[in-house]
Every structure is written in structure tokens, then in C-alpha cells.
């Protein structure tokens, strides 16, 4: 099988490349390890979405080995085959973009120059990006138009520069609680604004607008409103006739000759080996798996893994640091009209604040980078809601009548408001990917061994923002207001491992995400990110992938003209 471009993976880093290259007339093949679920397959099934390995591999077939601990106390490694704790995300056509909550905040100009703009962090490997916000801004705009971003631009002191005055789609419909957040924030002199979402508020090109089903994050979208790679990009790429998607295809080796990827080897649905040849190979399997694939692709020129003669592949893995918080509001504390509006399901809280995106406070020695807060309702999944009622206020298990009364109260007499904090995860020497020496997947390949070390500095920033945000919930009249900030990384927000940069000694990729040492290899998922910003990663991954797609077109055009 011969193509112009072979893409490993099909999520946010892959979709823009497939979309742009196939529309430009190039022959593209997408190899996706997971199955090809269609929209009609994505039912709002609580067991499927949260308690079963339907969207992710079974640990018995494909595990990970996770190292937790600290440099001071040592590290303990456990296989997820034993613990049963999955560290996977959306293995399917479209990847985890099918399951995202779709917070689409842009990074700010200062996010691209953290090392230059802020004081150094002890134990941190913070570097500036080799590109600027201005390089990415046109592509943020492109994502807003093609993926379909709903929102409203509200001026605030950390609003990033924009080439367009507003988002192409108006905000999603809001629950009355949004107005309560507005009022509370105003009293506290905190700036809030509608959360931009990669979800359609109006129909677009055969896609429906949001159905307001009350089930979004962690669930596939059955209205096609959510801007997943599958719906917004791959479906359009297929219509060109130039794109081929092969699901259930597990890539296990990139074969290199003369510093060029010559062949891509994969197992098909029947576990038989097949091979693809392409002029350009693009890896976009999500950060951990992309690093794992390069590390497995050893050759005479690259005995430590493809593109890894400097030992940087898998290093400086980053997640999204931050934390969560919540508060409760009883229906009985509201007027009849307010209670009715508050109970209405499906409508969005749709509020965010970046008031603490940069922090100047005596609690910190210097001006520091802060983050973003998004307000959401407690997830509608009944299993999760019930599961969280099993403890009393002292964290003792409750049973029988006491448990029944707690469930009745929580499901019928009140509603929970959550907030999620997103700050930079400080890259460090104890957060990285290697290959495990013992554990193998069902194909006999070494699984990823992931050390999950974090910098305690991140906790201090997260706790500061959590305390400030709790004041908003309290001002709203919420009770039992609490927060949780820890160094436990969320598996669905991962980046780094194949940093881009100008120095081949300290980075894996150049500024256009081409491997320094490999002529025709690009990496376009979140692996390229030296730092993650104080937002979720998907919007930036989409934007950068569109940018790199333009560079790949130039690469192919140059080779064609030379030929």
C-alpha cells in the first residue's frame, strides 16, 4: 500500500493533516488502532461510558506501567493489568476528541515564552516555544471556523489578541446558574465570560446543533455538534476520495533507512502484519503512545529509538495541572421560578474566568503564571453521582437507610456546581515515558512505562486559584463548598514527550514538528508542546496541526517539483 502521507492515529493531531492534505489532492491513509464507531453507535449509555472498556483497550490486552512516588521517597511501579486503573483515552476513529468536554480557550502570547516572562521554577525544565502566538493565531481562527466554536468574546485584562471580533457561533444556551455566577463575580470584582466550546450552537454543513442531552464530557456526541476529528474533519477528508481510514490497525514499527521512514508496519484486525509505504509519515497517537512507538522503532542509525539519538524522546511529558472544587445549592433555598429554571437539565453553566491567569500576590515571591477556571454542573451520569454519596462527612462508608436518604436528597433536592482549574504542569525530570522491560501487550510489544512525577510548585498555584474560586460559589449561596488540588495527572490531558525546538540537542522536533534527525517524519499530536498552557490542549493541538499541514504541503510540493 503506497500513499503520499501515512498518519498514525486519528484524533486532534491527525484530523487537520488528513483534512488539508486530502483536499489538496494527496493520497492519505490513516491507521487507527481502535474501532470505527459511527455517530449512531454513540448512545448515552452510562455503563459503556464510565464502567466498561468500550472506548479504551482492556488492561488484560494492553496495559501501562505507572510509576508513582517522589525522588525523595523513591518510585513504585504498578501495572494497570493488576490495578485495573486505565490510563487510556478514546481509542477509536477520531480518538479522544470524540469524548472531550470541548473547552476551547486559546493560549496567550505569554504562554509561548514562559521562560522569558516568569521567574525560573526550581526543578522545572521550562523553555520558550520556537514559535509565537502570532504564528498560531490564524490557525486558531481556522479551527473556530472549520471545527465550529461557540462563544462570545468578552473583553478582559488577559484576553488574547484576535484577528476576528468574535466566535463564528453564538454561545450555547445557558442555565440560570450562569447569571448567578455573573452576579457573584461582579460583587467580588472578578471577570467572568461565556466559555468557548467546540460544540455547535447552530447547524453547520450537515452537522446538527447541540441537542442539550445533559451528557457530553466522556460521552460521544450523537448530534454531531461536538467538533471531534471524526465528525468535523475526517468525514470531509473521506468525501474527497483521497483519504483511506483503516481502523483496528496497531502500528508497531516505523522502519527507517538513510534517516527516512520507508515503511510503516502494523497489525490488522486479524492480528496479521501489514505494511504501508508513504512519502511522509505523521505520528499522532497521543503523547504517551507516540513516544512509545518511536522508542520501539529502533534501527542501526537509531539504536535507542527513532529520532532519539539525543535521548529526548519520551522526556518532559506534561499533563494539565490544577484541581477541582464544588458547592451545593438546595432547591428549597430558591423561589419556585428559580428552582424550576435551576432544575432544567441539558443547558450549560457556560462560565469561565481567567482573572488569575497571571498572579501578583505577596504569597508568591514573583509574578507567576496562573490559570483558567471553568464552571460546570456535576456530571449527569447517575452511577458516578450515586457512587459519590457512599461516604459521610468524615469519609466513613454509609449503608442502608442513611445511604438511601443521602441518595434521595442528592438526586431530588439539590444540585451540585463544580469548577475545574487548569494551570501549567511544570515539565520535570521525573515525568517521562520509557518502554517496560517485562510487560507486553497482546501483540508481544513492550508497553509504555510512565513516571508520573510532578512539581510541588504547581500545587501552590492550584490551591491559590481554588481558594479564590470558592469565594464565588460561597457568594452565590452554595454550601459545602470544597476543593481538591493534587499532583495526580488526568490521563485525558497529556502532551510533551517529543518537544519541538530550534536546538537538535535538546528537542526532538524542529519548529514545524518535523523530526530533527528524520527527513520525512512529523509528530502532530500534543507531543510537540514544551509546556501545556493554562487551558485544555485540544484547541492548540488542532491549530498547530493545521499549521503543520501547510508545512507538509510545502514539503510534498518541493519534493514533487524536484522529482
CA 203 vs CA 167, 365, 409: distances in Å: 15, 49, 38
Q: Beta partners for 263?
A: 255
pLDDT tens figures, 466-491: 999 999 999 999 999 999 999 999 88
Task: Collect contacts of 42-49 with beta carbons under 8 A, ≥24 apart.
Answer: 42/98, 42/219, 42/220, 42/221, 42/222, 43/222, 44/213, 44/215, 44/219, 44/222, 46/381, 46/382, 46/383, 47/383, 49/215, 49/218, 49/219, 49/381
Stretch 186-210: mean pLDDT: 97
What is the C-alpha separation between 464 and 470, in angstroms, rounded?
A: 10
Helix or strand (DSSP H, E) at 352: strand 351-353
Lowest mean pLDDT across 81-85, 99-103, 209-213, 291-295: 81-85
pLDDT attached to residue 86: 86
Question: What mean pLDDT value characterizes the chain?
Answer: 95
Q: Let me know the angle formed at the C-alpha of 400 by 396 and 402, rounded to the nearest 5 degrees.
A: 60
pLDDT attached to residue 559: 65
Q: Is 562 a residue whose pLDDT tops 70?
A: no
- How many other CB atoms sit within 10 Å of the CB of residue 114? 21
Question: Which pLDDT band, with edges at 50, 70 and 90, does 395 fall under?
Answer: confident
pLDDT tens figures, 65-77: 999 999 889 999 9
* Bigger pLDDT: 388 vs 156: 156
Sheet strands side by side (includes 431-440): 74-79, 65-70, 446-452, 431-440
408 Cβ contact list (under 8 Å, min separation 6): none
Give percent of the chain above pLDDT 90: 90
In the block, which residue shows the cell 441537542? Answer: 211
Q: Is 535 a residue whose pLDDT tops 70?
A: yes
Q: Is 563 a residue whose pLDDT tops 50?
A: no
Stretch 178-189: mean pLDDT: 98
Q: Beta partners for 67?
A: 77, 451
**Alpha helices in 437-515, H assignment, sequence order:** 456-476
Question: Which pLDDT band, with edges at 50, 70 and 90, does 50 fall under?
Answer: confident
DSSP annotation of 144 = I
Nine-digit cell string for 436:
517496560
Q: Are 304 and 286 in contact (CB under 8 A)?
A: no
pLDDT attached to residue 392: 87
Question: Which pLDDT band, with edges at 50, 70 and 90, does 560 fall under?
Answer: low
Stretch 380-398: mean pLDDT: 90
* Bigger pLDDT: 90 vs 239: 239
Stretch 146-151: mean pLDDT: 98
pLDDT attached to residue 490: 86
Q: Is 43 a residue whose pLDDT tops 90?
A: no
Question: Which pLDDT band, with edges at 50, 70 and 90, does 406 fall under?
Answer: very high
CATH entry 3.40.50.10090 includes domain 2-562: no
Amino acid at each position: 500500500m503506497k500513499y503520499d502521507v501515512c498518519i498514525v492515529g486519528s484524533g486532534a493531531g491527525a484530523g487537520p493533516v488528513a483534512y488539508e492534505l486530502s483536499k489538496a489532492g494527496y493520497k492519505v491513509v490513516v491507521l487507527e488502532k481502535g474501532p470505527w464507531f459511527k455517530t449512531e453507535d454513540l448512545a448515552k449509555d452510562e455503563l459503556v461510558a464510565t464502567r466498561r472498556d468500550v472506548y479504551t483497550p482492556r488492561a488484560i490486552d494492553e496495559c501501562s506501567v505507572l510509576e508513582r512516588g517522589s525522588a525523595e521517597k523513591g518510585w513504585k511501579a504498578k501495572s494497570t493489568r493488576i490495578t485495573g486503573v486505565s490510563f487510556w483515552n478514546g481509542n477509536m476513529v477520531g480518538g479522544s476528541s470524540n469524548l472531550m468536554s470541548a473547552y476551547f480557550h486559546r493560549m496567550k502570547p505569554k504562554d509561548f515564552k514562559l521562560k522569558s516572562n516568569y521567574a525560573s521554577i526550581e526543578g522545572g525544565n521550562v523553555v520558550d516555544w520556537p514559535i509565537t502566538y502570532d504564528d498560531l493565531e490564524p490557525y486558531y481562527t481556522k479551527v473556530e471556523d472549520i471545527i465550529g466554536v461557540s462563544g462570545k468574546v468578552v473583553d478582559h485584562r488577559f484576553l488574547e489578541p484576535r484577528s476576528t471580533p468574535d466566535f463564528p457561533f453564538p454561545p450555547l444556551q445557558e442555565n440560570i446558574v450562569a447569571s448567578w455566577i455573573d452576579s457573584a463575580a461582579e460583587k467580588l470584582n472578578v471577570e467572568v465570560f461565556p466559555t468557548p466550546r467546540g460544540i455547535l450552537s447552530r447547524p453547520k454543513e450537515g452537522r446538527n446543533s447541540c441537542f442539550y442531552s445533559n451528557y457530553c464530557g466522556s460521552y460521544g456526541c450523537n448530534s454531531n455538534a461536538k467538533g471531534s476529528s471524526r465528525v468535523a474533519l475526517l468525514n470531509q477528508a473521506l468525501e474527497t476520495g483521497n483519504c483511506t481510514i483503516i481502523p483496528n490497525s496497531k502500528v508497531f514499527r516505523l522502519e527507517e533507512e538513510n534517516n527516512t521512514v520507508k515503511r510503516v508496519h502494523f497489525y490488522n484486525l486479524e492480528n496479521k502484519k501489514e505494511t504501508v509505504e508513504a512519502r511522509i509519515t505523521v505520528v499522532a497517537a497521543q503523547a504517551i503512545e507516540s513516544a512509545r512507538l518511536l522508542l520501539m522503532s529502533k534501527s542501526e542509525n537509531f539504536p535507542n529509538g527513532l529520532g532519539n539519538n539525543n535521548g529526548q524522546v519520551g522526556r518532559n511529558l506534561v499533563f494539565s495541572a490544577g484541581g477541582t472544587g464544588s458547592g451545593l445549592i438546595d432547591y428549597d433555598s430558591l423561589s419556585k421560578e428559580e428552582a424550576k429554571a435551576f432544575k432544567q437539565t441539558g443547558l450549560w453553566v457556560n462560565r469561565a474566568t481567567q482573572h488569575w491567569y497571571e498572579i501578583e500576590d505577596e504569597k508568591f515571591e514573583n509574578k507567576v503564571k496562573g490559570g483558567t477556571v471553568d464552571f460546570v454542573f456535576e456530571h449527569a451520569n447517575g452511577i458516578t453521582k450515586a457512587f459519590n454519596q457512599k461516604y459521610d462527612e468524615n469519609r466513613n462508608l454509609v449503608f442502608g437507610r442513611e445511604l438511601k436518604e443521602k441518595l434521595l436528597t442528592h438526586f431530588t433536592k439539590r444540585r451540585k456546581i463544580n469548577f475545574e482549574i487548569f494551570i501549567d504542569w511544570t515539565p520535570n525530570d521525573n515525568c517521562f515515558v520509557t518502554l517496560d522491560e517485562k510487560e507486553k501487550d497482546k501483540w508481544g510489544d513492550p508497553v509504555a512505562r510512565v513516571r508520573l512525577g510532578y512539581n510541588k510548585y504547581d500545587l501552590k498555584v492550584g490551591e491559590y486559584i481554588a481558594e479564590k474560586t470558592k469565594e464565588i460559589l460561597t457568594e452565590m449561596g452554595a454550601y459545602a463548598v470544597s476543593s481538591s488540588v493534587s499532583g495526580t495527572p488526568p490521563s485525558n490531558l497529556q502532551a510533551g514527550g517529543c518537544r519541538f525546538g530550534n536546538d537538535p540537542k535538546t528537542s526532538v522536533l524542529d519548529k514545524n514538528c518535523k523530526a530533527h534527525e528524520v527527513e520525512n517524519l512529523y509528530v502532530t499530536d500534543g507531543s510537540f508542546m514544551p509546556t501545556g498552557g493554562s487551558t485544555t490542549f485540544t484547541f492548540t493541538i488542532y491549530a498547530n496541526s493545521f499549521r503543520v499541514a501547510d508545512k507538509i504541503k510545502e514539503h510534498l510540493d518541493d519534493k514533487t517539483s524536484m522529482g
